[in-house]
Amino acid sequence: MSAGAPSAVTCRGLTKRFGGSGGVLAVDALDLDVPAGSVFGLLGPNGAGKTTTLRLVTGLARPTSGVVSIDGAPVAPEGSGTRATIGVLDQDPRYYGWMTGRELVELAGRLQRLPAIDARARATETLGLVGLAEAANRRIAGYSGGMRQRLGIAQALVAQPRLLILDEPVSSLDPEGRRDLLALIADLRASATVIFSTHVLADVERICDRVGILDHGRLVTEGPIEDLLARYALPLYRIDPEPGQAPALTGLAATLRALPWVDGVAEVDGRLMVSVMDETAASAGLLPLVVAAGLRLAAFERVRPTLEDVFLRLVGRDPGGDPGDPGGDPADPGGDQHADRASGLVA
């Protein structure tokens, strides 16, 4: 965080262990500052501690040790002072199917202490913002998955929170819906601080000012995206051959992997992506090696590294985890009496 910038959220030594002293350590002595007015991306592979961290920030779970503060005020599960300033969309929200979308958003506003007339007006406004104006009076049981996700964002926004926590907010949306709601989230930085957790790193690059990467409950790194790209992303080259040269391409890949200045070689859709540790050596050596391999090129270029390249370099696996990984953070088997509130309307 830049010097002097105020923090909307501060975590110091934040720790959460499920199942007692020998149980699962989901969050491990986390120190984190989220600047006020930022859109902050919280990243990590499945089981990294993202959802648990968000529940600790909202007060929906009790830390084993450490503290969380929002705008300087400590968060306590038994208190409600900080919750009135928070809007939450949980990773897997559950709503009453017999209610209409309008009724649910109005209820969320009333739970956030809005007067009835204001809750009604804000429900109309937020349902329009998320594209549900025409479906506002339909029962939620008839909503699609994408509509339910839009509804979740509407109920999180209804009380105009100073802190908005969104856990996988666009995972069920089609491309057009994803684009529209990402633009809406980006615009919120003018009035709120947003903590945005997702596995889709391209979405993070599109709208976030800063990111923090968690792994095994610990903060691996944190900072502005461009700083992280400059600090961790290696130079990357794309070698795109003309079709029908698979043996030559495989041979070139094996040659490159043996070189000391090559960090990694990936064969992707019939092309090579080569990350290098010595850009000078790569600039001088890559093309001669291509020629020596007898490879005819369609394209050869240095490409801009992405946040995914940084993520894989630091964490070593895809943000979505293994295909067989059930996903999410370690489950609390009923030991945390406050965690069940995370699937409710508001924090």
Give the mean model confidence (pLDDT) for residues 297-319.
Answer: 84
pTM across the whole model: 0.79
What is the structure's pLDDT at 1? Answer: 46
Domain range 235-304, CATH architecture: 2-Layer Sandwich (3.30)
Other beta carbons within 10 Å of 125: 15
Q: Is the pLDDT of residue 181 over 70?
A: yes
Q: Is the pLDDT of residue 337 over 60?
A: no
d(CA 319, CA 197): 11
**Domains in the chain: boundaries:** 7-230+319-343, 235-304
What is the structure's pLDDT at 314? Answer: 87
Q: Report which secondary-structure segment, H or E, holds 121.
A: helix 116-129
Q: How confident is the model at residue 188 (pLDDT cuts 50, 70, 90)?
A: confident
Give the mean model confidence (pLDDT) for residues 14-34.
Answer: 91
Q: Is 244 exposed, middle or buried (0-12, 13-18, 19+ CB in 10 A)?
A: exposed
Q: Is the pLDDT of residue 7 over 80?
A: yes
What is the structure's pLDDT at 323? Answer: 37
3-state secondary structure 259-320: CCCEEEEEEECCEEEEEECCHHHHHHHHHHHHHHCCCCEEEEEEECCCHHHHHHHHHCCCCC
What 3-state DSSP class applies to 180? Answer: helix
Q: What are phi and psi of 225, to 5 degrees?
A: -60, -45
Q: How confident is the model at residue 96 (pLDDT cuts 50, 70, 90)?
A: very high
pLDDT in tens, 195-224: 989 888 889 999 999 999 999 999 999 999
What is the structure's pLDDT at 81? Answer: 59
| CATH, domain 7-230+319-343, list 3.40.50.300, 3.60.110.10, 3.40.190.10, 3.40.50.720 | 3.40.50.300
What is the structure's pLDDT at 78? Answer: 63
Share of the chain above pLDDT 90, in %: 51
Q: Is the pLDDT of residue 34 over 80?
A: yes
Give the mean model confidence (pLDDT) for residues 224-243.
Answer: 90
Query: Which residue type sits at 15?
Result: T
Q: How far is CA 278 from the centre of its chain?
A: 31
Q: Which of 16-20, 261-265, 275-279, 321-325 is predicted least confidently?
A: 321-325
pLDDT in tens, 244-294: 999 999 999 999 999 999 998 988 888 899 999 998 999 899 999 999 999
CA atoms within 13 A on the CB side of 210: 20
Of 206 and 345, more confident? 206
Average pLDDT, the chain: 85
